[in-house]
Structure 1
Amino acid sequence: MNTVATATRTLPASSQRIAPEKFAHVVLKTANYDAVIAWYATVLQARVAFRNDFIAFLTYDDEHHRVAVINTPGSLASDPAAAGVHHIAYTYAGLGELLATYRRLKASGIEPARCINHGPTTSMYYRDPDGLRVELQIDNFATMDESHAYFTGPDFAENPIGVIFDPQQLIRDYEAGVSFEDLVKRPPLPPGKTPMDMREER
């Protein structure tokens, strides 16, 4: 088949900053194939776009897939001391959506290992069937300029980890009508605690 070029093209200059347009997906390998697929489908309220005995693709939006799971029977769990991915994170539209997701998952027997207000985000960390941490979060500031300012400010420099919170109490405060600003404002560390103490998980 012959084609006729209708115009020439010029590549962007090599000096131009070209960043990815978006983060597309993560790919997991597991010996717990059915359990991992079910867990991500439940937690993210995702649908299985394709599945066979080797691989499954899940999506929760208009992307063709956001999570892929490869069936690897006999594979070993990751060594917690090994270098690698610490966690993956998903951002929700608002605090109500995050808390409703917490309540839904808790009713299904899925509870977070740690709930922490990092300052820039309010976050809940879960562990999938293989132990990988999955963070569900919201942004605490209305704009990225405010978030960036917090990252470079003294509060974050003093405590870049955050402060643990009780999700049940946060729900009670939310339903009582406490202002969003007060709900997501990071409290001070508990007396006698350091930022490193806030890393403890259930």
Structure 2
Amino acid sequence: MVSDKTTNGTFDDFDAPAQKVLSPSTLAHVVLRTANFQPMIDFYTNFLGGKIVHANDFIAFITYDEEHHRIALINVPGTGPKQPKSSGLEHIAFTFPTLHALLLAYRQRKQKGIEPVWTVNHGPTTSLYYFDPDRNMLETQVDNFDSVEDANAFMSSPYFAENPIGTDVDPEDIISRLKKGESEASIKKRVEIGARGVPDFDAM
């Protein structure tokens, strides 16, 4: 029997039958192919408040936390523009710890000319969506519930079944309400509007 130690110090049998694959500990990074190399580098360092760990003529590694890189950009000659109707990644999401932090980053990006194309309270999250220079979509979000159990309960509710997309919000209105002292919990409670469809992102 072949076995080895896992990170928690126990022994696992590599040959044992498994009902479920061992899950990763975290999502490490995203790599984007581009022909728009320098504008993409500039955008992601600004958008994430990040820094370049290493870059040369064909690849750049960018981080904003303890991970050695969160975004890598590869400069590939001959790469064409993004095709909005093709299959593939829809968006990348980044979480902020509080509504205040989410909106502070929004205002700081706005000072750099980066503005959201869609702002919405999904129910589980309040989210601001952006396009990068290649029109990859990025989501910045804050969790609206204090626990995964509470978020799951909302996502199992009739309200979410009727409208899994959410209710549009105005970030400037949210900032105004925060400045007036309204609680984050009150602001993050979704206003119910009934059924709605997915926005036409191609028209944005």
Same fold? TM cut 0.5: yes
Partner of residue 148, structure 1? 152
Cα separation, 1, equivalents of 2:153 and 2:25: 24
Name structure 1 gaps, 5 residues minimum: 1-6
Name structure 2 gaps, 5 residues minimum: 5-11
Q: Is 1:195 matched with 2:196? A: yes
Q: Is 1:101 matched with 2:102? A: no
Partner of residue 179, structure 2? 175
Partner of residue 54, structure 2? 50
Counterpart residue identity of residue 32, structure 2: L
Partner of residue 14, structure 1? 17
Counterpart residue identity of residue 199, structure 2: R
TM-score by length of 2: 0.89
Alignment of 1:15-164 (within 5 A): 15=18, 17=20, 18-164=22-168
Counterpart residue identity of residue 65, structure 1: H
How many correspondences in the alignment? 192
Contact 2:3 2:13 in 1 (8 A): no
Cα separation, 2, equivalents of 1:78 and 1:11: 45
Secondary structure, counterpart of 1:91 in structure 2 = strand
Secondary structure, counterpart of 2:32 in structure 1 = strand
Secondary structure, counterpart of 2:126 in structure 1 = strand
Secondary structure, counterpart of 2:13 in structure 1 = coil
Contact 2:126 2:142 in 1 (8 A): yes
Contact 2:126 2:141 in 1 (8 A): yes
Cα separation, 2, equivalents of 1:42 and 1:158: 37
Counterpart residue identity of residue 72, structure 1: V
TM-score by length of 1: 0.90
